[in-house]
């Protein structure tokens, strides 16, 4: 009898561990099944070069042939010519990123495109397990975290449209992890790598610098890595290509009518939709710039004001603000919303059950994730979702008390 009672807890713990592992495996299998179904539906566009990966692949080909300068200078860059067997879809990303695609250029297009899809799926799952140690309340249910990412439509779009947005998410996750662990130099270095999406990196950099007390260490890490990336950019596209990059971006932005600006999930998209036909393009630009500045300033102010409030909520607000004010982005860039979603979810679960506020949060987050496929049919809906997340995070930080939450106690302003 004594032996039976003594071993009971061990058996219970063993069963609990086994059940947890089983739910993780089931969640992964569900996501794999969804990915297989999407891959089947997207097999022709992916294999025929009808996704955004064609631009990356072509960039890799040009760099591998020593013609990287043509990405930003010459007839290919201004759209008056096309690359043999592949149309170059404006490679607007940082020049050094083209080096990432050089290995793919040694494969024929279809295998290269499928390999990129597989790597994107792997990166999405790596992001989950990078975040879990920093969000302990969610770490207890990793199966739900896996499903949340696997069912979020922007993630699926990024995976099968050949985009690099999940790479941006990976870098933001590493930056968050660095700040959580007081590795400020590392956080700055990682964010420097996110210059591959310059419109998303710039506001994020400004907000972290404005809210962290160890800003010079952060800036130092950013500058050191940025210098290395500058040299890699020169190696990829030559000095002529690097110096021609700003002019290329200016020419690219002059044709906003080609890029479905009204569908962008940001303030720019909202302004274009509301002001089209009522204001000139320059007036719309002034409104977008003014609103963007206000969003950034208010985010910085409330983060600094919150003092000992959780870093996860502050970082989440910075990410949400970045999405809101980013100049050029689409639905697949909303993979970054994974960070605010997890931060809000973790904050809710970390509260004592009897004192929990906003008990509708789990339902709202579930609707945000599960409803994302429907929202993708009308991309403009995403922009209003981002606005609501911004306002909610602002309210949380505005009303936050100085009390610390177990497992989540470092303030962004104190890092």
Q: For 100-115, what is the mean pLDDT?
A: 94
Structure tokens that stand for 146 in this block: 């896996």
Q: For 156-185, what is the mean pLDDT?
A: 94
User: What integer pLDDT is reported at residue 350 of this predicted model?
Assistant: 87
- CA 96 – CA 202 distance, rounded (Å): 17
Number of compact structural domains in the chain: 1
User: What integer pLDDT is reported at residue 375 of this predicted model?
Assistant: 77
**Is it the case that residue 130 has pLDDT exceeding 90?**
yes
Which helix (H) or strand (E) is 89 found in, with range?
A: none
Residues 6+ positions from 74 with CB-CB distance below 8 Å? 81
Tell me whether residue 78 is in a domain.
yes
Closest CA to 92 of 187, 163, 170: 163
- CA 202 – CA 195 distance, rounded (Å): 8
Tell me whether residue 146 is in a domain.
yes
Structure tokens that stand for 65 in this block: 């042939």
Residue bearing the bigger pLDDT, 279 or 161: 161
Tell me whether residue 185 is in a domain.
yes
Tell me whether residue 4 is in a domain.
no
User: What integer pLDDT is reported at residue 188 of this predicted model?
Assistant: 96
Closest CA to 302 of 390, 181, 361: 390
3-state SS, residue 173: helix
Packing angle between helix 142-151 and helix 2-41, nearest 10 degrees? 10
**Is it the case that residue 411 has pLDDT exceeding 90?**
no
User: What integer pLDDT is reported at residue 408 of this predicted model?
Assistant: 40
Tell me whether residue 2 is in a domain.
no
**Is it the case that residue 81 has pLDDT exceeding 80?**
no
Q: How confident is the model at residue 14 (pLDDT cuts 50, 70, 90)?
A: low
Tell me whether residue 92 is in a domain.
yes
Tell me whether residue 112 is in a domain.
yes
DSSP code for 346:
H
Tell me whether residue 102 is in a domain.
yes
Residues paired with 408 in a beta bridge? 405
Which residues span the domain enclosing 343?
A: 15-414
pLDDT in tens, 36-70: 999 999 999 888 888 889 989 999 999 999 998 88
């Amino acid at each position: 009898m004594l032996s039976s009672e003594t071993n009971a807890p061990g058996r219970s713990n063993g069963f609990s561990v086994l059940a947890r592992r089983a739910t993780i495996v089931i969640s992964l299998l569900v996501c794999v099944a969804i990915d297989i179904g999407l891959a089947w539906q997207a097999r022709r566009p992916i294999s025929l070069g009808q996704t955004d990966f064609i631009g990356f692949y072509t960039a890799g080909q040009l760099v591998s042939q020593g013609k990287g300068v043509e990405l930003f200078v010459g007839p290919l860059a201004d759209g008056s010519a096309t690359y043999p067997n592949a149309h170059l879809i404006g490679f607007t990303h940082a020049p050094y990123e083209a080096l990432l695609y050089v290995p793919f250029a040694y494969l024929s297009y279809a295998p290269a495109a499928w390999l990129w899809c597989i790597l994107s799926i792997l990166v999405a799952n790596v992001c989950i397990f990078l975040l879990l140690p920093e969000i302990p309340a969610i770490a207890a249910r990793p199966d739900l975290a896996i499903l949340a990412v696997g069912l979020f439509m922007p993630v699926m779009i990024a995976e099968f449209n050949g985009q690099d947005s999940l790479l941006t998410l990976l870098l933001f996750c590493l930056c968050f992890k660095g700040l959580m662990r007081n590795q400020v130099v590392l956080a700055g270095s990682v964010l420097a790598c996110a210059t591959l999406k310059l419109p998303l990196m710039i506001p994020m950099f400004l907000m972290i610098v404005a809210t962290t007390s160890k800003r010079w260490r952060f800036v130092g890490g950013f500058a050191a890595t940025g210098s290395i990336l500058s040299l890699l950019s020169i190696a990829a596209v030559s000095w002529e290509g690097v110096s021609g990059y700003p002019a290329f971006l200016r020419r690219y932005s002059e044709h906003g009518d080609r890029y479905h600006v009204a569908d962008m999930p940001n303030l720019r998209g909202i302004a274009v939709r509301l002001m089209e036909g009522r204001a000139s393009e320059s007036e719309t630009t002034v409104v977008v710039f003014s609103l963007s500045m206000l969003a950034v300033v208010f985010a910085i102010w409330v983060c600094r004001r919150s003092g000992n409030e959780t870093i996860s909520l502050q970082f989440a607000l910075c990410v949400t603000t970045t999405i809101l004010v980013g100049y050029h982005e689409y639905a697949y860039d909303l993979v970054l919303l994974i960070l605010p979603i997890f931060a809000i979810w973790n904050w809710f679960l970390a509260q004592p059950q009897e004192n929990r506020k906003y008990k509708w949060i789990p339902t709202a987050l579930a609707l945000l994730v599960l409803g994302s496929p429907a929202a993708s049919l009308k991309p403009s809906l995403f922009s209003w979702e981002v606005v609501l997340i911004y306002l909610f995070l602002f309210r949380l930080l505005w009303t936050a008390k100085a009390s610390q939450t177990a497992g989540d106690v470092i303030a962004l302003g104190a890092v």
